Every structure is written in structure tokens, then in C-alpha cells.
Structure 1
Amino acid sequence: MTGFYEEVMTQPSKLAGLLEIYKQEGYETVREAAAMITQGNHVYFAGMGTSLNVASCILGRLSQQVSASALEAGELLEMPGLLREGDVLVLISQSGESIEICRLFEQIKRRVKIIGITNNEGSVLAKNSDLALFLYAGTEESITNKTFTNTMAVLYMIESVINGKDLSELEERLYSAIPVMEELLKTGKEEIRQWAQRLSPADVIHFIGAGAAAVSLAQQSALIFMEGAQCSARAFSVGGFRHGPIEICSKQHRAVLYLSDGKYMEKILNLAREMQYYGSEVVIVSNQSMDFGSHFFVGSMAEEGFAMAGALFMEILLYQVASMRGVAAGEFHITNKICKKE
């Protein structure tokens, strides 16, 4: 067992701890963040890697209330005129010390309000933001795992307040994922290993998402499978895959499809069946019951809960694929946890 998997095993308890802390404070900082965003002109979510991928889970939901977009923090550095007075910048960084984050503070010079979301309370990001929200995920030394789910949970809280939803309903949806996650760790490992074998040799894997949470999971899967299993990987939306990349379908092709919203059921099934017809090895991971042989049913739950449990499936799958490929799952070999090079 690698350090990565040991951290993955703490994911349910770290999510529960985060929810309890924010509940005890009455979601005060979450409400402050939501107020800053709604009072601003445009809100930009910026981060690198995981810290950018998480934003996909709420961008569409925010669109009816606020003008919002997401981009790489490094890309933002190259567009100094993009941020205007009155805008709000949500900077996301697990460490709060990534080089792009540090440089952005030098460049922005307080033209905009900054909300920081980080796991490091003593970081540059935490100290220099107008408002900081913390992930309470504990130490994370391997590639991203528990900070991914905890960041999504915090973003879902902010989105719920902005859209006038009852936070107690979100609590219930997120808490409902915890026993599912615990069961995956207890009994799901062997079943997921069988899916890993079907994806063999896993030199190249494509991840395709249908639904907001599913897109975040696809993007994150591509990132961590490159980092942690040394696979060549890429993420797509259903439409994005159809616009050209579908030509890669063959007996050598491997793909994981995530479905987090039932309204996309027909779309994802049509694509999966077409891919199988052309020879691709495909598995669908979802919170929806369906008539499809290559399907891992995480459980019947809301999209927010699926985001948590689906992330754990993704990480266990990575562990199994890496083991199959003779790679120490989730360990850095070239870079490290905090990137200090541009």
C-alpha cells in the first residue's frame, strides 16, 4: 500500500470533519464569500491542475445568478488587463504557495477582491486574501485526493448560498456520500480491480464527462492518471469527444465515462454503445441505474454526493491501474507537491 492509498482511506473522515467545522461556525465564512461574489461584477475562479478542475462542478449552476468563468492561474498572469475593478477572484490552491498564486498577488495589487480556498492556513494565499476558506483535509503529501473532494464540498456550499438553497439539504447530500465512500473502501476495491484489468494495458485512457460533477471528475481523472499511474490521459465532454477524437475508437482504445445527471443518460449511452461498436473498451461510472453491461453503479444519490463517491472510485481505480502497470501509485517522480517552477 502506498502513501497515496493511505491518504485515500482517510477521505470519508476528512469530508465529515470539514462539514462539521463549517456547520458549527454557521457557515459564516461561506456566506461572506457568497456575498462578495454576488456584490461583484464578474467572478473568476483560478487555480492550477486540481485547483482548476474543481470549478467545473459549479460554474453552470452559478450562471443564473452571477457572471462567472474559470481559467488557469498561469493564464491569468499573461492577461494583466483581464481583471477589472469590482471583479472578484477566487484563487484555489491546496498548498497556497504555488508560484502562480504568489506571482498573482504581486501583479494584481488589490484591483479586485480575492477569496482564497486552501488547505494551508499559514500560506501566502491565506494571509493575503480578503477572505480565506480552509479545507481541513490534514496533511496531503501524495498526488491530490482528499483536498479534491473537500474543495468541491466548499464550492458547493458557496453555490448553494448564492442560489438561495437550503444548506441543510446540501449537508444531507454530502453526508449521504460518506457511507458509500466507506463501503467502496471496504468491499469495492476488488470489483474496481476487475475494471482496471479491462482497461489494460492502460497506456492511453480517455475520460469523458456528462453533467457538471462528471466533467470535474473526468478532468481530475486525466490529471491524476498522468501523475499517479504514468498513463497518457485526456478529458473530454461528450460533445468534445464526438468532434473528432471519436476517430480513435478501436480495440486498442480505453475510456471511462462519468454520468452525474440523469438528463444526459441517453447522450452518454449512445456514445458508449457507439464506442463499443468500434471496438473501444468502455466503462460508465454513474449515480443512475441503466441497462448497460459495462457499468459501475456508485449508488443512487444526488450529483453532489456522486462527486464525492465518484472521486473515491477514480482514486481506487488509479491505484489498481498503477499497480497493474508496476508503478508506485500516486507518488511523484519528477516534480513535487508544491510547484515552484513556471
Structure 2
Amino acid sequence: MNFYLKDILSQAQELKKAMDHYQSRASLEKLRKIAQLKPQKVVFSGMGSSHFCAIGASIHLKQHGIENEVISTGELLHYESEILKEDTLLVLISQSGESVEIVRLIEKLPKNITVVAITNKIPSTLSERGDFVFDIHVSQEKSVTTRTYLGSTILVQIIAETLRQGDTSKVFEELKETVQNMSEYLKSYEKHMDELRLFMKEMQYLCLMGRGYALETVRSGSLFMREVLRFPALDFDCAEFRHGPMEMVQSDFHAIVLAPSGKTQELNINMANDIAQKKGKVVLITDKKADTNSLDRMANVLVIRLPVIEERFSSILQIVPIQLLANGLAEERNIPVGEFRWGSKVMEIE
């Protein structure tokens, strides 16, 4: 078994351990203090999956009227740092705590900016600058991120709920249930991986799409596909896909459409159906209560049914089939799974 697959299979166990740490007395005290800040604006920033992991938390805050945005640290460093004011809460996310953009932003960051640091390495440049430091608290990975990405996702969701109302007890319960669902799904990982691999074996490029909270998985999943399979993986908002990119669809077109429970589930299922009607091949990742009768008998559609969970936590579970697909196809194509050719785990060059 390659190290990337081992990392995938370890995620549920590692996240259960990590969440116990997130509920420690010291962590809860930090959350209590963050709840008292009442910032005028929250900015989430990171690079790669550490950037995308905050999309769901950002949407949740916006739905409750809390002004915030998610910005890549590279853009924040060179073009948008002027938005950082004394009443801004800056949430910086970096698994290593040493990504070059994070380090250079910290060098120019005024001391009166309050920083929440989320990292898997303490001490690090990021942890030393953080006013509130949260350890992702999972084992280090060798290459393409798995559990550190999901640990970051969970932490930003917890921090978002803290900023919204202070009480995180219900969120911890829901997150633990989500991770338990992941554990159950991974018990049959060979079956799931083979099903996905066989269905998508001819794929030469991939389009991932969804709406709302699923965009976190769309962005991160596309990144992981590009890293592991070393081929183009495009990420789309489903609504935007109709405005032009639908012209790409033909018999050699391959897509993953995400349709978790929520206000746009039916729209996303309709998107999968429209692609299939135009002869494209679609993996539809949805839940067990979704109405997919129009798709279940189509040879060019594979429906993946996950447990029903709250939409804002769906990205934690949705990413797992995508990880398994990437691993299965990489193995079949004799690509060294999870190994970087041109990059590194910690980027030191802009």
C-alpha cells in the first residue's frame, strides 16, 4: 500500500484524536476569547488547500451577516493587504507554518492585527506570530495533503461557529458524527476505489463542479487531482458552467458533480442529468435521500450516495471519494502516487 493511500485511510482515526485536542480546556479557552473579540471583518488566508479549506466557514459566517472573505495569501501579500485594519481578525492557515507567502506577509504585518494561526507545526513562523494558535494536531504527511487539510477545515468551522454565537458544543457533535460516517465509508474503500477507477478509467481531464458549501470540495478536489494524477482538473461553480463551459461536453467529457443536501441539491442533480444527456460521463456525489431516479439507470452516470449530513459539513465527507479516485487511477497509470515532481510539501519560492 502506497503512503498516500495510507494517509487517506488514516484520516478518520486521526481526526477523532485531533477533535479531542480541539475540545481541550486550553483550546476552548482560546475559542472563548475569540468569541469576545467581535471583529468588524474576518479574513481567512492560506495557500492551496489551506486557502480553499475556509470556503465553507466563510459561507456560514456570511449567511449570518458576518462580513468576511477568503483570500489566497499570495494575493493578500502583494495586492490586498490594505484591507487589514486594526478591527480585522486575520485567520492564517498553513500546515507547515512556513509557506513563503505566509512568512513574507507576517514580515510586513502590523503588530496591531490580531492573528489566529492554524498550523500543524509548532514552533513555526506562523505559530510565533499568532495571537491565538491552534495546532491541527495530526501526524505529518509526506506529500499531497489529506488529514491536515481536513483538520484545517474542521478548525475553521469551529472558529466560524465561535464567531457566530460562541457556543460550539453542537458543532463538535455534528463534526464527530461526520468523521464517524467517514470511518464507515472507508471500511469498504477497496470496493469504492475500484468502482470509481473502472468508471473513470478513460478520463484524460476532469471537471469538478458544485455550488455553495460544495465549492470547497470543488476547489480542493481539483487541486488534489492535478497533484496526484498530473493532468488538467478544472473547477466550476455549477451556475457558471452553464454560461459557456457546457460547450465542452461530448462523449469524452468527464465530470464530478457534487449535490449534497441543501437548497441547490436539485439544481446540481439536474446539471449531472444535462451533462449525461449530452453524452458526457458523470460521477454524482450526493446523499442517500436524494432523488436520482432519472440517473440511476444511465450507463454514463455513477451515483455515489453518502450519509445525509448538514450541508456546511458536507465537504469533509465529499472529498474522500475524490481522494480514492485519484489514488486508484494513479496506481493504474503507474504514476508515483502522491509524489511531487516539480514542487515540494513546503513551498519556499514565490
Shorter-chain TM-score above 0.5: yes
- Please state how far the C-alpha of 1:166 moved relative to its aligned partner: 4.6
**What is the distance in 1 between the residues matched to 2:290 and 2:85?**
46
Q: Are 2:230 and 1:222 equivalent residues in the alignment? A: no
1:181-201 C-alpha deviation (Å, 9 max, x unpaired): 223222133233222222222
Q: Which moved more, 1:93-102 or 1:323-332?
A: 323-332
Match of 1:236 in 2: 236
The answer to whether residue 132 in structure 2 is matched with residue 131 in structure 1 is yes
Inter-partner Cα distance in structure 1 for 2:46 and 2:313: 23
| Contact persistence 1:116–1:129 (CA under 8 A) | yes
Counterpart amino acid of 1:33? I
Q: Would the aligned equivalents of 1:143 and 1:330 in 2 still touch at CA under 8 Å?
A: yes
Corresponding position of 2:253: 253
Residue by residue over 1:135-186, the C-alpha shift from the partner in whole angstroms, topping out at 9 and shown as x without a partner, is 0012111201001111111111112222227522212211112332223222
What residue in structure 2 maps to residue 282 of structure 1?
282
* Cα deviations by residue, 1:65-108 (Å, 9 ceiling, x for unpaired): 42100111001111242322322211111111000000001111
Q: Does 1:24 align with 2:24?
A: yes
Task: Classify 1:83/1:161 alpha carbon distance in 2 versus 1 (closer, same or farther; 3 Å).
Answer: closer
| 1:263 match: secondary structure | coil
Are 1:264 and 2:264 an aligned pair? yes
Q: Give the partner amino acid of 2:175.
A: L
Instruction: State the match for 1:59 in structure 2.
Output: 58
Stretches of structure 2 that go unaligned for 5 or more consecutive residues are 297-301
Please give the residue correspondences for 1:328-339 in structure 2 after superposition, counting only pairs within 5 Å.
328-339=336-347
Q: Which 10-residue stretch deviates more, 22-31 or 278-287?
A: 22-31
Which residue of structure 2 aligns with residue 199 of structure 1?
Answer: 200
Kindly state the Cα deviation for residue 14 of structure 1 after the two structures are TM-superposed: 1.2
Deviation at 1:303, TM superposition (A): 2.8
Map 1:312-323 → 2, pairs under 5 A: 312-323=320-331
Once the two structures are superposed, what CA deviation does each residue of 1:28-61 show, in whole Å capped at 9, x if it has no partner? 222333433x2x2221111110011111111121
- Tell which deviates more after alignment, 65-74 or 20-29: 20-29
Q: 2 CA distance for matches of 1:87 and 1:268?
A: 35
Q: How far, CA to CA, are the matches of 2:141 and 2:327 in structure 1?
A: 16
Counterparts in 2 of 1:286 and 1:165: CA distance versus 1, 3 Å: farther
Residue in 1 that maps onto 2:299: none
SS in 2 for 1:109: coil
Taking the aligned partners of 1:31 and 1:149, their CA distance within structure 2 comes to: 23
Deviates more, 1:10-19 or 1:158-167: 158-167
TM-score by length of 1: 0.94
Indicate the residue corresponding to 1:327 in structure 2: 335
Paired letter, 2:82: G
Evaluate the alpha carbon distance shift between residue 152 and residue 62 of structure 1 in structure 2; reply closer, same or farther with a 3 A threshold.
same
Equivalent-residue separation in structure 1 for 2:117 and 2:153 (angstroms): 14
In 1, Cα distance between equivalents of 2:192 and 2:85: 50
| One-letter code aligned to 2:59 | G
Decide which moves more: 174-183 or 262-271.
Answer: 174-183
Letter aligned with residue 305 of structure 2: F
- Alpha-carbon separation, structure 1, partners of 2:170 and 2:260: 18
1:304 Cα offset (Å):
4.8
Aligned to 1:310: 318
Task: Indicate if the aligned counterparts of 1:18 and 1:135 stay in contact, CA closer than 8 A.
Answer: yes
- The answer to whether the 8 A contact 1:30-1:133 is kept is no
Q: Secondary structure at the match of 1:27?
A: helix
Q: Deviations over 1:233-255 (max 9, x none)?
A: 01111112112111101111100
User: Secondary structure at the residue paired with 1:255?
Assistant: strand
Residue in 1 that maps onto 2:47:
48
Further displaced range: 178-187 or 72-81? 178-187
Q: Is the 8 A contact 1:184 1:313 kept in 2?
A: no
- Describe the superposition over 1:247-283 as per-residue Cα deviations: whole angstroms up to 9, x where unpaired: 1011111000112333212211211111111111001
Question: Are the structure 2 counterparts of residues 305 and 189 from structure 1 closer, same or farther at C-alpha, using a change threshold of 3 Å?
Answer: farther
More displaced stretch, 180-189 vs 9-18? 180-189
Do the aligned partners of residues 158 and 329 (structure 1) sit closer, same or farther apart at CA in structure 2, a change above 3 Å counting? same
Contact 1:176/1:305 (CA < 8 Å) preserved in 2? no
* Structure 1 residues 87-102: aligned runs within 5 Å: 87-102=88-103
Q: Distance in 1 between matches of 2:263 and 2:120?
A: 34
Q: How does 1:47-196 map to 2 (within 5 A)?
A: 47-63=46-62, 64-79=64-79, 80-164=81-165, 166-196=167-197
Which is worse superposed, 263-272 or 181-190? 181-190
- SS of the residue aligned with 1:46? strand
User: How far 1:307 moved relative to its partner?
Assistant: 2.5
Q: Under a length normalisation based on structure 2, what TM-score does the superposition of the two structures give?
A: 0.92
Moved more, 277-286 or 307-316: 307-316
| Identical residues among aligned pairs (%) | 25
- Which stretch has the larger CA shift, 143-152 or 108-117? 108-117
Question: 2:258 & 2:32 partners in 1: Cα distance?
Answer: 31
Contact 1:210 1:261 in 2 (8 A): no
2:54 aligns to what SS in structure 1?
helix
Q: Could you tell me how far apart the structure 2 residues matched to 1:41 and 1:310 are? A: 32
